[in-house]
Amino acid sequence: MIGDGVSRRGFLEVGGGVTAASLALTTGSAAALVQSGAAVRALGQEMPNDVELPAAPPRKKRADSVGFAIVGLGDYALKQMMPRFVQAERAHVAALVSGNPEKLNRVGDAYGIPRNARYSYETFANIAPDKQVEAVYIVLPSGLHAEWTTRAFAAGKHVLCEKPMALSSAECERMIAAGRRANRKLMIAYRSHFEPHNLQAMELMARGAAGQLRLLRTEQSYRMSPTSPSENWRVNRALTGGGALEDLGIYGLQAALYLTREMPESISATTFRPAGDPRFSEIFAQVSSQWRFPSGAVAQLATSYDSSGANFVHARGTTGALIMDPATNYSGQKMTLEAGGGREFQSGDPTVQFARQLDHFVDAIREGVRIRTPGEMGLRDLRLIEAIYASAAAGRTVRLNPDATIRS
Ligand code: NAD
């Protein structure tokens, strides 16, 4: 538990004409805030706390199942995603990549991964001829996503990459180009696109269940305390970017886009760091932004690493409101439509989001199905994140093109 009794896990479970270049010149480089450091590299970490490894290796999958190599055996990989492969129809864990040999072997033994399919960061390139591995799942600190996605493409594998896709739009563009060169698929692991409540929310908004959308508010926050390996890198700008926005606020950013189905035409934003707090010497404690959409709808997004836990999305239209609280957790989603007498939705089991995301990527690899959350979506979101930081740094509204680049 952290701070106000809210843990990281608790959070998840329960004026125009400003160019990027001119902002960089006037603000001491807003873009530099979201650049990853050249010295950052993949390093083995200890086993996260409270990991439950399978008592027996998972059963073999059908012949056309896609084998994934998991790169980075941390909290999310070991506690959420790896256990969920069992529920996927055509995806299985075929290889592991870690810089900690002891953890690698413990996890490898528990999941029945052959010794010759256990790689270190140094031996990763040997994965290329391994036919059992068709896809690589990148679950490393965010500042390492771009490098390891590019390496996986160089090894001829498809890539499922965790959010945020990277720490800058330039990195995202390089990742997309590397995938095209290798003729391999790239998907960003935006699990809410596979979660029943969020899918139903998209559908409700699309058919005007709350009338014309006017006001949207999102908040994702918890009080962080860098006392575990999983938290330590989250205060390091080169590994995490600006902080809470890339890590948590990105869920609100995504919801604002998939509920309005519009791109903002302008953004104004502010950032804050409490003075003298060592947690925030490199990153922001909180970021808030206001977006204006072409329809006239306005979204207010707030995210914080220094306030008690919240994860909600409120979408208010001319005839009602959709309240999602919690909105994008691993489980326990609650969603109410306040219109026509009010109605609470039980859209389905939220925990199917993990396996459905995997099966969707397999459908793209095997059947050529169009990826719902492609690299281009990750790039769009990094452009918006850059626009938020640019606006906050310049202290004025930033106007955007439809592709989320800053309008010149
Ligand atoms: P974590 O620290 O628990 O795991 C990261 C792992 O990366 C470590 O265990 C370690 O094995 C490896 N690693 C390699 N080089 C490292 C370095 N230099 N510093 C630290 N670790 C290094 O973090 P996590 O919470 O599992 O997050 C990993 C990624 O997954 C992040 O990009 C995060 O945004 C994403 N994530 C996504 C969700 C989701 O719901 N989609 C949830 C949590 C995390």
Q: In sequence order, which residues have a C-beta less than 8 Å from that of residue 286 and are 6 or more positions away? A: 221, 244, 271, 272, 302, 303, 304, 305, 306, 307
* Residue with CA nearest ligand 1 atom 12: 72
235 Cα to the center of ligand 1, angstroms: 13
142 Cα to the center of ligand 1, angstroms: 7
Architecture of domain 11-191: 3-Layer(aba) Sandwich (3.40)
4 Cα to the center of ligand 1, angstroms: 23
CATH number at 193-350+375-399: 3.30.360.10
* Under 8 Å between Cβ of 252 and 219: yes
Residue of 8, 51, 102, 233 best suited for mutating to test ligand 1, as the one with most atoms within 8 Å of CB: 233
Residues with C-beta less than 6 Å from any ligand 1 atom = 42-43, 45, 48, 72-77, 98-99, 139-142, 144, 162-163, 189, 191, 229-230, 233, 247
Ordered mean pLDDT values, 10 residues apiece, the chain (408 residues): 45 43 33 46 95 94 95 98 97 98 98 98 98 98 98 98 98 98 98 98 97 98 89 95 98 98 98 96 97 98 97 98 98 94 90 98 98 98 98 98 94
Residue 230 is predicted with a pLDDT of 87
Residue in 94, 89, 131, 132 with CA at minimum distance from that of residue 112? 94
207 Cα to the center of ligand 1, angstroms: 37
Residue 10 is predicted with a pLDDT of 64
The residues that are catalytic are 163
- pLDDT digits over 370-382, tens only? 999 999 999 999 9
Token match 């990527």: residue?
361
Residue of 9, 36, 45 best suited for mutating to test ligand 1, as the one with most atoms within 8 Å of CB: 45
pTM: 0.93
Q: Report the nearest atom of ligand 1 relative to the CA of 121.
A: 14
Q: In sequence order, which residues have a C-beta less than 8 Å from that of residue 86 and are 6 or more positions away? A: 58
Q: Report the nearest atom of ligand 1 relative to the CA of 229.
A: 2
Residue spans per domain, the chain: 11-191, 193-350+375-399
230 Cα to the center of ligand 1, angstroms: 6
* Residue with CA nearest ligand 1 atom 8: 74
- Mean pLDDT estimate for the chain: 91
User: What's phi and psi for 256, nearest 5 deg?
Assistant: -60, -35
How far, in Å, CA of 218 to CA of 203, rounded? 18
Q: In sequence order, which residues have a C-beta less than 8 Å from that of residue 68 and are 6 or more positions away? A: 85, 91, 92, 93, 94, 95, 133, 134, 135, 136, 137, 160, 358
